[in-house]
Amino acid sequence: MTRIIGIPADGPELIDNISDHFGHCNYFVGVETDNNNLNKTFSIRNEGHSSCMEPVLNMRERNVTDMIIGDIGERPYMRFLKVVINLFQGLRGKTIKENIEFLLEGKLNELKGSSCNNH
């Protein structure tokens, strides 16, 4: 099954760590998975945004099916649910590649709510 996984990250490469916070990441990285093969499909520099909906819609426009996230506020969390993108709690201090492998192995928990109260 092909999936496109979005990850807020510190850098644009698979060896970079995931970001601690969705809205304050340096990059949004997309990786397509097919039979456990990883293919980076995009890396977008986060230049800031005027609303929480912008990065959510950006991920939807890129056909992202799943997001691996450090922390996320209530508004973007609810918007991801609305556009039907699955959210998973990423492991801090781990790379994009490691987090994707954990997701594919079923080792990441589904995010059941926002994890940041700064919004």
* Of residues 118, 106, 88, the one with CA closest to residue 6: 88
CATH placement of domain 3-47+64-104: 3.30.420.130
- Residues 52, 57, 62, CA angle at the centre, nearest 5°? 140
As a whole number of Å, the CA-based R_g of the chain is 13
Q: What is the pLDDT along the chain (119 residues), one digit of tens a residue?
A: 789 999 999 999 999 999 998 888 999 999 999 887 999 999 999 987 666 678 999 999 999 999 999 989 898 999 999 999 999 999 999 999 999 999 999 999 999 887 665 54
Task: Report d(CA 1, CA 70) in Å as an integer.
Answer: 25
pTM above 0.75, yes or no: yes
pLDDT by residue (tens digit) across 24-55? Answer: 899 999 999 988 799 999 999 998 766 667 89
Q: Which pair of tokens denotes residue 7?
A: 């990850």
CA 98 – CA 16 distance, rounded (Å):
10
